[in-house]
Amino acid sequence: MHRTLLASLWISPLLFCAALSVAADDHTQRSTHTTIEQANTFINDNILPPIQPWSGASETLLLSAEHPWATPFEQHGYLSTPNYSDTMAWLDKLVDSSDVLHKVSLGKSPQGRDIWMIVASSEGAQSATALTDNGKATVFVQAGIHSGEIDGKDAGMMLLRDISHGNKRALLDKVNLLFVPILSVDAHERSSEYNRVNQRGPINMGWRTTANNLNLNRDYAKADALEMQHLIRAINIWQPDLYIDVHVTDGIDYQYDVTFGYNVKQGYSPSSFNWLETIYRPAIEKALTEQGHIPGPLVFALDNADMAKGISLWNPSPRFSNGYGDARHLPTILIENHSLKPYKQRVLGTYIMLEETLNTVAKHSTKLKSAIYADKYRHPNQLTLTWQNEQLPKGIDFKGIDYRIETSPISGADVVRWTGEPKLYPNIPVVANTKPGIVVSRPVAYYIPPQWTTVIERLSLHGIRFTRLEKPTRIKVQQYQFNDPVFSSADYEGRQTVTATTVSNEVSLSLPAGTVRIATEQPLGDLAMLLLEPQAEDSLFYWGFFNTIFTQTEYIEDYAVEPLATKMLAENPDLQAEFAQALKDPAFAKDSKARLRWFYQRSPYYDKQYLVYPVLRAMK
């Protein structure tokens, strides 16, 4: 599609909307006459799979472009989303006109933009303390963590408008709403019509990663990005009871326009899972269906070219929003709107989901808070650090789209051609990473020497509680020692990750004053374990926070090892026997460097902290 044609499409919805008759019905006048073509036409339509026409009851939520409280999304024919400046100008106008809204900054982005949050409460609360004092449950909704996937921003703006000036004010009677319209604000301004080729709108989309090229939805555990640090502080300060992270999918074609998921029942927050599965999901799916949308589970194809192989159900690690929420016992919902559905349809689906979320939490807040409390103080004796795939006993009926396989004249490989025609895949297999892999016992506490300041600061950022030793203390603890470290061959999210095999030894050590003690019987005890157990998928060890322990800084010259080894053998018959046994290995016997290193490692000169994990486990 040419740019000139795109320009005409940009203008035509405004002219079309201007010609519509507008009902004079206070602040609820609606316009539902925009044609499917106008709301579905984007520059990449000619290279995307075909779609079926859509119309739903949720279209009555849309205001005409001329309405004084029309959002920029509505003003421009449901094709575009406003930039940062226009977004905040519109929200400022709304907040200034409303007695239930307040705006606060979570902090500055790396490029100096404020990350704004709208606080919505019937009392007009302006602080976390005031919000807590009203005794209601709080829902935290975040849009634009991947700023090209911005459906949540425009849906949230419409919802706040209807709460303030429409007929939705009662939504705040029994629940509070925190709304971040754009989390990745710098990336939001790296906007282009060419940013997400597989997504139908908006016309102008932000970038996936931050100005520092970090993916925020890989950053929850390590929290390197400034934006993520602001977000985690906000979660700790405002203490929401439900957290929603709005995205748009990649991948396969299917009928669902709104898919969403959360932690699995095998995870770290089973009570929250039960609330989400038995109370939340049925209510949300009912509301979406009644409004003309097709809700579905958050799943992925095992093979994009062969749906018969089944789908995967995701149990995410704490680097992701819903995995992090599971670890810290904050019920977290990951919305993944379907990228191939038009922008208007996705925004309206998000609106319905957010509205029904407020209704559902208001009705069932006591059960929700009870579930969170049960998870926070569960403290299981063992914790799973890694998960393996397994096929679940029960398949699902999947509302897919038909396709054919063709040989591409471009690549020469087989490619999928989605036809746009609905197809039901009955009872297809479901594979999930829900089988426990590495499981460890829960220590009473961890100890971290005071020099590991970055690690200690990161734990504090997450809200994990700790104390400090006031004087040197001798204690028996478990300590990991590493063998066979494997470093990532390429940078990943700004870090060189590492894995290693571990051996646990019981040692007696004198810990200096200032050493940090982290008790595991605390609300964030599970999160502390997942960050400090080195074999966990998103441990701080994995993310390279301890990589300096792999640097050997002292060494010994060969001329010094020879007489030292002779002396050691003469003084220690047991060492003689051990060396004789080692020489039975032909490779070792032929390797002169290995033989000298063998003696150095057993000498008092060897670095006793090399390959030793400085985080200690106290079992009693």
Shortest CA distance to 220 belongs to which of 336, 321, 333? 321
pLDDT exceeds cutoff 70 at 28 = no
Query: Per-residue pLDDT tens for 384-403?
Result: 999 999 999 999 999 999 99
Task: Identify whether the C-beta of residue 383 lies closer than 8 Å to the C-beta of residue 535.
Answer: no
- Residues 595 and 582: their CA atoms lie apart, in Å, by 9
- Residues 510 and 504: their CA atoms lie apart, in Å, by 18
What are the CB-based long-range contacts (under 8 Å, 24+) for 400-405? 400/252, 400/253, 400/254, 400/255, 400/307, 400/424, 400/425, 401/49, 401/252, 401/253, 401/254, 401/255, 403/253, 403/307, 405/305
What is the predicted pLDDT for the residue at 556? 85
Query: Per-residue pLDDT tens for 555-611?
Result: 888 899 999 999 999 999 999 999 999 999 999 999 999 999 899 889 898 888 899
Q: Is 209 left (phi over 0), alpha (psi -120 to 50) or beta?
A: beta
Q: Residue 396: how many CA atoms within 13 Å on its side-chain side?
A: 19
Is the C-alpha dihedral spanning 381, 386, 388, 394 positive or negative?
Answer: positive
What is the predicted pLDDT for the residue at 23? 35
Question: Quick one: average pLDDT of 39-47?
Answer: 81
What is the predicted pLDDT for the residue at 607? 83
pLDDT exceeds cutoff 60 at 409 = yes
Among residues of the chain, what percentage have pLDDT more than 70?
Answer: 94
What six digits make up the tokens of 303? 């093979």
Specify the pTM: 0.91
Amino acid at 8: S
Query: Per-residue pLDDT tens for 73-84?
Result: 999 999 999 999
Query: By mean pLDDT, which of 216-230, 296-310, 466-480 is the weakest?
Result: 296-310
- Residues 305 and 253: their CA atoms lie apart, in Å, by 11
The neighbour count for residue 598, using CB atoms within 10 Å, is: 18
Question: Quick one: average pLDDT of 65-72?
Answer: 98
Shortest CA distance to 134 belongs to which of 145, 122, 143, 146? 122
Task: Identify whether the C-beta of residue 538 lies closer than 8 Å to the C-beta of residue 499.
Answer: no
Measured CA distances, 547 to 61, 274, 345, 500, 517 (Å):
53, 39, 47, 11, 22
Q: Where are the alpha helices (DSSP H) in 178-292?
A: 185-188, 226-238, 270-275, 281-290
The neighbour count for residue 208, using CB atoms within 10 Å, is: 19
Q: Do β-strands 473-487 and 242-248 pair in parallel, antiparallel, or remain unpaired?
A: unpaired
333-338-342-344 Cα dihedral, nearest 10 degrees:
-10
Query: Per-residue pLDDT tens for 126-149?
Result: 999 999 999 999 999 999 999 999
Shortest CA distance to 433 belongs to which of 247, 261, 252, 266? 266
Question: Quick one: average pLDDT of 54-72?
Answer: 97
- For residue 500, count CB atoms less than 10 angstroms from its CB and return exposed for 0-12, middle for 13-18, buried for 19 or more: buried
pLDDT exceeds cutoff 70 at 8 = no
Shortest CA distance to 533 belongs to which of 121, 525, 451? 525
What is the predicted pLDDT for the residue at 399? 97
**Across-strand partners of 467?**
517
Task: Identify whether the C-beta of residue 302 lies closer than 8 Å to the C-beta of residue 311.
Answer: yes
Measured CA distances, 142 to 206, 276, 419 (Å):
16, 18, 34
pLDDT exceeds cutoff 80 at 6 = no
pLDDT band at 265 (very low <50, low <70, confident <90, very high): very high
The residues near 10 (Cβ < 8 Å, ≥ 6 apart) are 76, 77, 79, 80, 203
Question: Quick one: average pLDDT of 407-421?
Answer: 93
Question: Quick one: average pLDDT of 519-529?
Answer: 98
What six digits make up the tokens of 539? 């441990």
Measured CA distances, 78 to 9, 36, 189, 197, 245 (Å):
11, 11, 19, 19, 22
Task: Identify whether the C-beta of residue 532 lies closer than 8 Å to the C-beta of residue 538.
Answer: no
What is the predicted pLDDT for the residue at 21? 34
The residues near 448 (Cβ < 8 Å, ≥ 6 apart) are 455, 456, 515, 516, 518, 532, 614, 615, 616
What six digits make up the tokens of 8? 């005409």
Task: Identify whether the C-beta of residue 146 lies closer than 8 Å to the C-beta of residue 216.
Answer: yes
What six digits make up the tokens of 612? 């030793």
E-strand ranges in 268-395 read: 295-297, 299-301, 311-313, 332-337, 382-384, 387-391
Task: Identify whether the C-beta of residue 69 lies closer than 8 Å to the C-beta of residue 161.
Answer: yes
What six digits make up the tokens of 398? 């999947």
The residues near 5 (Cβ < 8 Å, ≥ 6 apart) are none
Question: Quick one: average pLDDT of 188-210?
Answer: 96
Query: Per-residue pLDDT tens for 335-377?
Result: 999 999 999 999 999 999 999 999 999 999 999 999 999 999 9
> DSSP letter string over 86-129?
HHHHHHHHHHHH-SSEEEEEEEE-TTS-EEEEEEE-TT---SHH
The neighbour count for residue 362, using CB atoms within 10 Å, is: 18
Rg, C-alpha atoms of the chain:
28
Q: Is 223 left (phi over 0), alpha (psi -120 to 50) or beta?
A: left
Shortest CA distance to 327 belongs to which of 240, 220, 241? 220
pLDDT exceeds cutoff 70 at 383 = yes
Question: Quick one: average pLDDT of 375-385?
Answer: 98
The mean pLDDT value of the chain amounts to: 92
What is the predicted pLDDT for the residue at 235? 98
- Residues 532 and 229: their CA atoms lie apart, in Å, by 19
What is the predicted pLDDT for the residue at 40? 58
